[in-house]
Amino acid sequence: MTDTVLHNTPKPKLYWLPNALTLGRIAVIPLLMWMIIVVGGSSTSFVNAPILLLLLFVLCAVTDFLDGYLARKWELVSAFGRMLDPIADKLLVAGCLIALNISFGAIWYVLVPSTAIIFRDIFISGTREHAANAGIILSPTMLAKWKTTAEMLAILLLLIGISTSSVMPISHNIGDISLLASQGGIALLWLAAALSLYTGWHYIKATLRG
C-alpha cells in the first residue's frame, strides 16, 4: 500500500508487499465481477464456482486489512499508498455492485442504493482532489469507516445469497439461507447508502468551510 519514507531505517525484505497486495486486489476485480455474473445468472454453473466466488471476495477483504496493517507495522508511508488504497476499495465495491445488479436484473431496491453509493464515491473522490489542491485535508470519519464496513458485509451477504441459490432450489420458506442472506444484504446495502449520503454531505460541508 505504501513506500517507506524513513530513509535511515533499513527496508524490510518484503517492503514491496503492501503495494503488491493493493495492486493484486485491483487486478482480480474483473475476475470477481465475471464470477458474480456467472454464478448469479445460472443455476447450472460449475459446481465449485459459488465456493470460489466467496473465497475470492473474502481474499480481497483480507488483503484490504493486511496491506494497511503491514504498512503501519513496517512504517511504510507514502502519498502513493494513501492514494492507491482507497481507489482499490472503491473499485472493489463498485465492481461488485455493478455485477450484482446484473445478476439481480437491476431491481430497484438493489439498483437505487448501489447507484447512490457509486455516485457518492465518485463525487467525493473529486471533492477530495479539489480539497487537496486547496490545501484542505479531509480525514475519514468514523461514520465513513462504518459505511465501508456496511458495504462489505452487504456485498458478502448478497454473494452468499446468489451462491446458495445457484446450487439449491430457492424456496419461499423464511428459513431459506439464500432468502435470508439476500434480505440481510439488501438491508445493509440501504444502510450503507444512507451513511454514504450523510458522510458525503459532511465532506462537502468541510470543503466549503475550508
The CATH number linked to 53 is: 1.20.120.1760
- How far the first Cα of the chain sits from its last, in Å, is 29
pTM score:
0.85
| Residue range(s) defining the domain that contains residue 74 | 17-209
Report the domain count for the chain.
Answer: 1
Q: For residue 132, is it within any domain?
A: yes
Output the tens digit of pLDDT for each of the chain's 210 residues: 444 444 456 777 778 888 899 999 999 999 999 999 988 876 555 667 888 999 999 999 999 888 888 888 877 767 777 778 888 999 999 999 999 999 988 899 999 999 999 999 999 888 877 776 777 767 777 898 899 999 999 999 999 999 887 666 544 554 478 888 999 999 999 999 999 999 999 888 887 876
Q: For residue 2, is it within any domain?
A: no
Q: Is 188 helix (H, G, I), strand (E, B) or coil?
A: helix
Q: For residue 5, is it within any domain?
A: no
Q: For residue 120, is it within any domain?
A: yes
- What Å distances lie between residue 59 and 24, 28, 64, 76, 174, CA to CA? 10, 10, 9, 22, 30
In whole angstroms, give the CA distance from residue 41 to residue 104.
8
Closest CA relative to residue 95, chosen from 79, 117, 75, 78:
117
In whole angstroms, give the CA distance from residue 53 to residue 154.
15
User: 152: which residues sit within 8 A by CB, 6+ positions away?
Assistant: 61, 93
Q: For residue 10, is it within any domain?
A: no
pLDDT for the residue numbered 5: 47
Here the cell at position 68 is 494497511
Torsion of CA 166, 100, 25, 149, to 10 degrees: -100
- What Å distances lie between residue 11 and 74, 91, 173, CA to CA? 8, 29, 57
User: 141: which residues sit within 8 A by CB, 6+ positions away?
Assistant: 199, 202
- Residue 105, Cβ density class (10 Å: 0-12 exposed, 13-18 middle, ≥19 buried): exposed
